[in-house]
Amino acid sequence: MVVIRRIDAEATALQRQGELALWPPLLGQEASQIGSARALRDDDFVFPSYRDNGVAYCRGVNPEDIVKAWRGNALAGWDPYTVNVATQQIIIGAQTLHATGYAMGIQNDGADSVAVAYFGDGATSEGDVNEALVFAASFQSPVVFFCQNNHWAISEPVRLQSHIQIADRAAGFGIPSMRVDGNDVLAVMAATRIAIDRARHGGGPTFIEAVTYRMGPHTTADDPTRYRDANELEDWAAKDPIARLKSLLERKGLLTEDLETAVAAKADAVAKALRAGTINMPEPQPMDIFKHVYSTPNSTLERQQDHYSRYLASFGDPAEAASEEGAR
């Protein structure tokens, strides 16, 4: 939790310094993400949203690969099959359909892994999510719907999103649900284990609502002071998931000075490597854009490619142009 908070802070700083185009902070949601991700088996498959960077890190995605797409250096930061984490979905809720389809595939294969979809409170109002819930319930597919209710969908408060608790929406689909304190890492882990266990043993889907709070802006392009009451932020700051775990460990006598130092050192080292890796990331080449459109040659695309390469050549060699400029 400390490490992902540090990654999040470093990525936010990198965006402010112009090194990333955009960043969606997860500050405040560390317990929801780590508690749930730690309950999964390696061969379970995660379908995350843009904000689930803690889940991605927990599953073994390299932090540099997490920021790569936000820098605009790649269309996707990692190969989903190496870590069993799909690339992050920006289309709100679409990943719940992918997870449900994958879960139906698990059933057809007779395997015992589980698909997990991560999405937000706002996503539960999307058609995609409702369709996914229908299919998962109809076929009793091994999928866990993990909803982080962080109280906001950009500037729309959850109280407007739904007049009942988000977890209660699942009942209409015949899907059992749990509402868990999303700032309590152990509670989140316990709830996720129950849901995963049920799915793995043929019990079908479960919907989890982890009640948490987005402490930062929606993304670095957002200014929450324009729509959010400062008192609300203060209330939630008092429920900080890391501070809560820290005080539990202290009370149990488990938090030693050595452990604290080691955790801080790990967070600093990861952040330092992330910064260096981001700044030194190889720039993508303009022609690379054509590589990922079709898997087989396509004559229309080849014509466009040829046209675009002649267009780029019309600028001459940038190095030569710079030295000519210098000479003038």
DSSP for 33-100, please give it: HHHHHTTS-TTSEEE-BTT-HHHHHHTT--HHHHHHHHHTS-SSSS-HHHHTBPPPB-STTHHHHHHH
Instruction: Confirm or reject binding of residue 24 to Mg ion (CB under 5 A).
Output: no
Spot the catalytic one: 6, 51, 151, 218. 218
- Only segment of 90-98, 234-242, 263-271, 283-291 that touches ligand TPP (CB under 6 A): 90-98
- Find which of Mg ion, ligand TPP, none residue 51 binds, CB within 5 to 8 Å per kind: ligand TPP
Instruction: Confirm or reject binding of residue 30 to Mg ion (CB under 5 A).
Output: no
Q: How far is the CB of 12 from ligand TPP (least distance, A)?
A: 15
Q: How far is the CB of 61 from Mg ion (least distance, A)?
A: 22
Residue type (1 letter), 12: T
Q: Say how many C-beta atoms besides its own lie within 10 A of residue 276's C-beta.
A: 11
Catalytic residue status for 118: no
- Find which of Mg ion, ligand TPP, none residue 237 binds, CB within 5 to 8 Å per kind: none
Strands 115-120 and 143-149: parallel
Interacting residue with Mg ion among 48, 120, 182, 217 (CB under 5 A): 120
Q: How far is the CB of 116 from Mg ion (least distance, A)?
A: 18
Query: Rounded CA gap, 327 and 257, in Å?
Result: 61
Instruction: Confirm or reject binding of residue 287 to ligand TPP (CB under 6 A).
Output: no
Catalytic residue status for 292: no
Catalytic residue status for 227: yes
Cβ neighbours of residue 258 under 8 Å, at least 6 residues apart? Answer: none
Instruction: Confirm or reject binding of residue 240 to Mg ion (CB under 5 A).
Output: no
Instruction: Confirm or reject binding of residue 91 to ligand TPP (CB under 6 A).
Output: yes
Q: How far is the CB of 240 from ligand TPP (least distance, A)?
A: 18
Cβ neighbours of residue 44 under 8 Å, at least 6 residues apart? Answer: 84, 113, 114, 115, 116, 196
Interacting residue with ligand TPP among 36, 100, 150, 206 (CB under 6 A): 150
Q: How far is the CB of 192 from ligand TPP (least distance, A)?
A: 18
In the bound state with ligand TPP, the residue whose beta carbon lies nearer, of 14 and 129, is: 129
Near Mg ion in 121-140, by CB under 5 A: 121-122
Instruction: Confirm or reject binding of residue 64 to Mg ion (CB under 5 A).
Output: no
Instruction: Confirm or reject binding of residue 150 to Mg ion (CB under 5 A).
Output: yes
CA triplet 183, 187, 193: central angle to 5 degrees? 130
- Only segment of 116-124, 130-138, 227-235, 291-299 that touches ligand TPP (CB under 6 A): 116-124
CA triplet 42, 168, 219: central angle to 5 degrees? 60
Per the CB < 8 A criterion, the answer to whether 34 and 4 are in contact is yes
Q: How far is the CB of 15 from ligand TPP (least distance, A)?
A: 16
CA triplet 319, 322, 323: central angle to 5 degrees? 90
- Find which of Mg ion, ligand TPP, none residue 90 binds, CB within 5 to 8 Å per kind: ligand TPP
Query: Rounded CA gap, 83 and 65, in Å?
Result: 12
Q: What phi, psi does 221 have (nearest 5°)?
A: -95, 5
Q: In what order do the strands lie in the sheet with 177-181?
A: 45-47, 115-120, 143-149, 206-211, 177-181
What are the residue numbers of the active site?
214, 218, 227
Give the binding site for Mg ion (CB under 5 A). Answer: 120-122, 150, 153
Judged by the rule CB under 6 A, the positions of this chain that interact with ligand TPP are 51, 90-92, 119-123, 150, 152-154, 214, 218
